[in-house]
Structure 1
């Protein structure tokens, strides 16, 4: 039980900026075990966003509350996944050829396509959250960070590593079907008390489809996935779900 708790703390250290003042084991088995807790990390992030939103909506209009939801997400994660999204935009749209794409994705400098991608990302989140929160339960603020992190576990399982080394390889091809099922079950157990069955199934189906399609797209571009791909998938799932939930279903 102690090792599982330490693996959970390790995931909090990696995926968020939440201060964990503890030296933790970092063996491959610790990361594999930690993959069981991606949904819980998403829950922590979502709960913090929900608390901030619930406070702000009492005193400010919806637009202001949504802006702070987005800011809180960036602050908690350190822009970790958005950075991967931007790097992926730079690599995939700026050039062709696996090696060149990966080199661009590794470059710490931000390019034109990364700027465009991140701006579009933030705009969709702002418009999406504003629309969704007018039409459905505010619990969606909690659920989207969970399902997007669960999708990272799924793509780590179905994908293959595009590079021999890299931080993404701690999870890519290391995660097993057990970790995938555990994360989806955790999401369902949480969501079933917050959403009607129709929206719950919609979120599950779309998140899985987007993850499978993005994995195929990455294979066509770089013959696999990287750590940046994991972050990009997290963002894509969240963005597509916001767009979908904004519709009149």
Structure 2
């Protein structure tokens, strides 16, 4: 029973870190427990996805698809506090605007939004809107949201396992949930993140798996080359890019372009 309570506590710690959803007030907290709670990052994504599906099911009865999708995206931003979008923008500003590793890390810590971050964020949100509209028209949005929200977070957080955290944890405004990860925690993260894939056809699952592996390898190499590791902003950026990649594959598969 104590083990179950400990795991529930870890989940709520992860939920409090990555969402605005209410959690119990009497959570046990320590830096070590917060680090261990990273195993439930994908479960947090799955729960947020379920909440958003319920929300979309209601608003889609009241409004046209285009308006319902905008409301869905607004609800998502409110539920997460735009945490990952902020990371994507900061990563783009830092890596795009800095000439050295120290400059790139310093820019990422700056709360001001620059040109690279603005352009990247606008393009990402516009692409996400277009993809979600297409998925809604294809009657695939519910499954896509579950897969996208859970698996993208699993992929992003898996970078913790074999990369070095390079930002100053005392000054960084975007600390990661964890700075180390055991193989058992990685398995939990990936298994939970992959569960919603069962809602998709096998061929689509296979393509998503292959492309996510390729993305992870390439993204890891790129980050190591540019800043020597990862920051919390980079994890947010990875989550956003992976989510878009998942939606792109599902849309392309639904039209027969990849099959």
Q: Aligning the two structures, in what range does the TM-score lie when normalised by the shorter sequence?
A: over 0.9
Q: CA deviation at 1:85?
A: 0.4
Tell me the distance in 1 between the aligned counterparts of 2:21 and 2:176: 23
Please, which moves more after superposition, 37-46 or 158-167?
Answer: 158-167
Which residue among 138, 163, 168 is the counterpart of 2:167?
163
Tell me the distance in 2 between the aligned counterparts of 1:23 and 1:151: 30
Q: CA deviation at 1:208?
A: 2.8
Residues 60-79 of structure 1, C-alpha deviation per residue, up to 9 Å, x if partnerless?
22111211221111000000
Is the aligned partner of 1:15 residue 2:18? yes
Q: CA deviation at 1:32?
A: 3.4
Q: CA deviation at 1:54?
A: 1.3
Q: Which residue of structure 1 lines up, in the alignment, with residue 154 of structure 2?
A: 150
Q: Do 2:131 and 2:251's aligned partners in 1 also have CA atoms closer than 8 Å? A: yes
Q: Which residue of structure 2 lines up, in the alignment, with residue 41 of structure 1?
A: 44
Tell me the distance in 1 between the aligned counterparts of 2:176 and 2:45: 21
Q: Which residue of structure 1 lines up, in the alignment, with residue 181 of structure 2?
A: 175
**Partner secondary structure for residue 9 of structure 1:** helix
Following TM superposition, the consecutive aligned residue runs of length 4 or more in structure 1 with deviations greater than 4 angstroms are none
Tell me the distance in 2 between the aligned counterparts of 1:10 and 1:230: 18
Uncovered stretches (5+) of structure 2, i.e. residues with no partner: none
TM-score normalised over the length of structure 2: 0.89
Residues 146-165 of structure 1, C-alpha deviation per residue, up to 9 Å, x if partnerless?
01111122111121112353
Tell me the distance in 2 between the aligned counterparts of 1:70 and 1:236: 16
Q: Which residue of structure 2 lines up, in the alignment, with residue 117 of structure 1?
A: 120
| Change in 2 beyond 3 A, CA 1:41/1:169 | closer
Q: Which residue of structure 1 lines up, in the alignment, with residue 8 of structure 2?
A: 5
Residues 216-241 of structure 1, C-alpha deviation per residue, up to 9 Å, x if partnerless?
11111111100111111001101222
Uncovered stretches (5+) of structure 1, i.e. residues with no partner: none
Provide the aligned length of Structure 1 versus Structure 2.
247
RMSD over aligned Cα atoms: 1.8
Q: Do 2:176 and 2:235's aligned partners in 1 also have CA atoms closer than 8 Å? A: no
Q: Do 1:153 and 1:175's aligned partners in 2 also have CA atoms closer than 8 Å? A: no
Q: Which residue of structure 2 lines up, in the alignment, with residue 61 of structure 1?
A: 64
